[in-house]
Structure 1
Amino acid sequence: MVIRSKTLRLVILISTVLVTIIIAVQLFWLQKVYKYEEKQFNINVSKSIRGLYRDMQLVNDVSDNVQKKIENPKPDLYLLRIDCNPHLDSLWTNLKAELTDFDVYTDCKAAIYSQEKNAYTEEEYIDLPDAYFPPKEKKPLPVLKRDYSYIALFFPHRGGYILKQMYFWIASGGLLLVVLIAFGASIFYLYKQKFLNETQKDFVNNFTHEFKTPLAVIKIAAEVLQQPGISQKPEKLKNYASIINEQISHLQGQTQRLLEIAYTDSNALQLEKEKFDVNDLLQQAINNLHPLAEEKNAVIQTTFSSTGIMVTADKYYMLLTFINLIENAIKYSTSPKINIATYTEGHDCCIAVKDNGIGISEENQKKIFNRFFRVTEGDLHTTNGFGLGLNFVKKIVEEHGGKIDVKSEPGNGSTFIIKIPQH
């Protein structure tokens, strides 16, 4: 599962990088197209102005370079130097004709600036047939002081007009973006489904392994008990009956754990909070695990707060939490030496369970609280379980408004720290 998941994650990473590059290239070309359309607009307006100078007597010396008489102080504003007062009707008519001849189809506000009055003396709104915005959307014409009279051409919706020319590019870019997003969503969905399938497969394998051995032991023990003359051997009868009882207890415990996980997954925990001493509950958890600790020759030391720590929480669920952590500390060590400490930090009660096991890698530390995840390094693959315990512990702690952290290094054991509010 690890290799397959890593390969799929690599594919997703590469796909994400490629999608990002494609989007970046698309944005780059959209910017280039905008610059091109912007340049084309300026060229068309300049051609229209030259045509206007040819059509009308606006300056005394027509032999001068017309371009020198055009000023473009702002992207949407053009100033045309004049030496005389032109005939207004002819001016507006010719201006509209020149703009349409050179494909400038956006509204324009024209005005004549008088040097003597330092103000516009005449204004006209030119609404072209295919103007991008309706005539009612007018912007004020800015006044720029000059030492000569001029005709001002102001294009208030120049930016919108240029974007209109880019509709095809914008639409194709947007379509490509939608396709890429859909592709990314599909890849993510497939990854999620694959992860769920692998998780389900791992769970089935864990489940089979967890129940196969006890059932095989029970079957063998039952066959022994069915042998003729077994009643004449009370010690053997007692021994095999004890084995069956132990295996059934183990199966019942695992089944109960599965039911609890399934219930808490579909329902919020129904907490029945009460006030109790954390030290006393931890000691109860240690006592409950005494047979397992004795079997593994585990040494459990406690460093409890001398004053005792009272918390208000669900006693049953907190007991399950403590048992789970201590049980893991015993199971995941060859010669278990465990230290359990309690202390306070501000308004939080802290419980630290430290073991001398083989430790957990930094990569696995991020996953151990995930459901069905089991560390498979070292000898841990021989440890029974469904990979549900720590996920259950995390849920209980978080339902109490607390948090759980792990500090570990491979070969140096692990320390699980629970922090829950005391009130």
Structure 2
Amino acid sequence: MSRNTIRIIILLASVLFIGLVTTQIFWVKKAFEITQNQTQHEIELALINVVQDIKDHTEDSTFLVDPVNMISPNFFRVQINEELQPFYLESMLQTEFLNREINYKFQYSIYNCFNDSIVYTKLVGNAKNTETENELEIPPSVKWDNDNHYFSVFFPSLDFEIISQMRFWVISSIVLIAVLIFFAYVINIILHQKRLSEIKNDFINNMTHELKTPISTISLASDVLMQKGIEENPERLHNYARIIKDENQRLQNQVERVLQIARLEKDELEMTKQQFDLHELIDLAVPTIEMNFGEKELKIKTKLDASNAMIWGDEMHITNVIFNLLDNAGKYGGDIPEIIIETRSLEKGIFITVSDKGLGIAKDQQKEIFEKFYRISTGNVHDVKGFGLGLHYVKTIVDAHNGKIKLNSKIAEGSQFELFFPYGTEIVK
């Protein structure tokens, strides 16, 4: 399956995921609004019945226009013509709410119609439970412009009660979202496994290519040495023997690099800590790396400004770190690589940068550059040799010294690796 096909599938799956979640949220919200409107209507009908019961009890024939007003979704104001006894009002409210199955906690308040102050207020558990709760909640402020008496009913937990009635919607939404999250997780795992498979295949291809060259060279040199009369030309014999030795050493180095990473993964890599001068290490590494590139022109500039270059660590492994960074800068630095190594002292350690003006690394690849076996994709071209182990090794060694490493890079502008090694820090084993 091609990458474009995978991208299209991921895009469609994302659109479907967002669409399903949005639709579910819409219908849950719609169901909540419908249930809320039905509940508010039932409360208004119950309060109208309470007003009618009060009028019948007091034999009041006065007609009241819209005696019940909804001030907010959970707060209702009720107009009456007579003063009320609190417990009588509470009894009627509970009776009407119970008849309409409104079993919610409510707080009723009786007001002084002259100054809108609360004369009496009480919080009732629910229509079935007459036990009064001790903690009163403050209802919204209310003002009545007429001279009539009035009371209010406040439902402090109405929204929660409505949501609790929507168990089916809530549970189905949770299940749907959980299924979608699980689906997204599975897709992520599949893509991750596919990526690992691609990296593994790239590693096998690179390793095959890297090992095939010295093996072929050794085979050709061996064929020459087996020719009759080769012993009569000592110089030629020596040259081919040297070729076999060099290629054999190259094979050993490649195998050792793979084994070294394996030991790192198992925490079996031995480190010998000691204090050494990082500037001296860099001064020795620069001419060596220049020699390794042979005829390729390499420009390396050093700005070793750190006032204190003495660090505590494994000199061999930190040397390998510097070598790997310089080697990468040389390989990917263009036709004539220009490399700058800088150091400066910080309060708790030494700061190092290795910069080049080469190809640069795309932003989406920078997060993976330190992963084992990862190499920047260049198609099927093997102009840059390697297994994708160098930067993983660098990151592992830096972490083992309680240090930090960071990459800054832009395409066609070059790359800069920033390293920090603390002074006198014990190595993590």
TM-score normalised to structure 2 length: 0.81
Displacement after TM superposition at 1:14 (Å): 4.5
Aligned to 2:47: 49
Deviation sequence 1:88-133 (CA, Å, 0-9, x none): 887666544432343323244556556599665696947434x7xx
Aligned to 1:128: 127
CA distance in 2, matches of 1:343, 1:89: 84
Pairing of 1:207-218 with structure 2 (within 5 A): 207-218=207-218
Aligned to 1:349: 350
Displacement after TM superposition at 1:197 (Å): 1.3
Amino acid at match of 1:51: N
Amino acid at match of 1:238: H
Question: Contact 2:308 / 2:345 at 8 angstroms: preserved in 1?
Answer: no
Deviation sequence 1:397-417 (CA, Å, 0-9, x none): 233343334455555554444
Displacement after TM superposition at 1:313 (Å): 2.6
Question: Contact 2:317 / 2:397 at 8 angstroms: preserved in 1?
Answer: yes
Aligned to 1:419: 420
Q: How many residues align?
A: 417
2:191 match: secondary structure: helix
Q: Tell me if 1:64 matches 2:37.
A: no
Question: Contact 1:96 / 1:126 at 8 angstroms: preserved in 2?
Answer: no
Instruction: Please identify, of 289-298 and 32-41, the stretch whose mean Cα deviation from structure 2 is larger.
Output: 289-298
Displacement after TM superposition at 1:169 (Å): 1.2
Instruction: Please identify, of 58-67 and 155-164, the stretch whose mean Cα deviation from structure 2 is larger.
Output: 58-67
CA distance in 2, matches of 1:188, 1:167: 31
Question: Contact 1:342 / 1:349 at 8 angstroms: preserved in 2?
Answer: no
Pairing of 1:11-26 with structure 2 (within 5 A): 11-26=9-24
CA distance in 1, matches of 2:33, 2:252: 73
CA distance in 2, matches of 1:86, 1:355: 88
1:259 match: secondary structure: helix
Amino acid at match of 2:220: I
Instruction: Please identify, of 201-210 and 377-386, the stretch whose mean Cα deviation from structure 2 is larger.
Output: 377-386
Q: What are structure 1's unaligned runs of at least 5 residues?
A: none
Q: Tell me if 1:159 matches 2:159.
A: yes
Aligned to 2:374: 373
Instruction: Please identify, of 299-308 and 11-20, the stretch whose mean Cα deviation from structure 2 is larger.
Output: 299-308
CA distance in 2, matches of 1:157, 1:356: 65
Using the aligned pairs only, state the percent identity. 31
Q: Tell me if 1:140 matches 2:136.
A: yes
CA distance in 2, matches of 1:57, 1:294: 108
Amino acid at match of 2:388: G
Aligned to 1:220: 220
CA distance in 2, matches of 1:282, 1:122: 83
2:352 match: secondary structure: strand
CA distance in 1, matches of 2:293, 2:90: 100
Question: Contact 1:352 / 1:416 at 8 angstroms: preserved in 2?
Answer: yes
TM-score normalised to structure 1 length: 0.82
CA distance in 2, matches of 1:250, 1:378: 25
Displacement after TM superposition at 1:212 (Å): 1.6
Aligned to 2:188: 188
Question: Contact 1:72 / 1:78 at 8 angstroms: preserved in 2?
Answer: yes
CA distance in 2, matches of 1:71, 1:346: 71
Aligned to 1:316: 316
Pairing of 1:397-416 with structure 2 (within 5 A): 397-411=398-412, 413-416=414-417
1:106 match: secondary structure: coil
Question: Contact 2:68 / 2:78 at 8 angstroms: preserved in 1?
Answer: yes
Q: Tell me if 1:40 matches 2:38.
A: yes
Q: Tell me if 1:293 matches 2:293.
A: yes
Question: Contact 2:306 / 2:343 at 8 angstroms: preserved in 1?
Answer: no
Aligned to 1:327: 327
Question: Contact 1:273 / 1:312 at 8 angstroms: preserved in 2?
Answer: yes
CA distance in 2, matches of 1:237, 1:139: 103
Amino acid at match of 1:24: T
Displacement after TM superposition at 1:344 (Å): 0.8
CA distance in 2, matches of 1:371, 1:182: 28
1:57 match: secondary structure: helix
Displacement after TM superposition at 1:267 (Å): 2.1
Displacement after TM superposition at 1:61 (Å): 5.3
Aligned to 2:100: 102
Structure 1 residues 125 and 276: CA distance shift in structure 2, 3 A: closer
Aligned to 1:395: 396
Amino acid at match of 1:384: K
Question: Contact 2:306 / 2:345 at 8 angstroms: preserved in 1?
Answer: no
Amino acid at match of 2:318: M
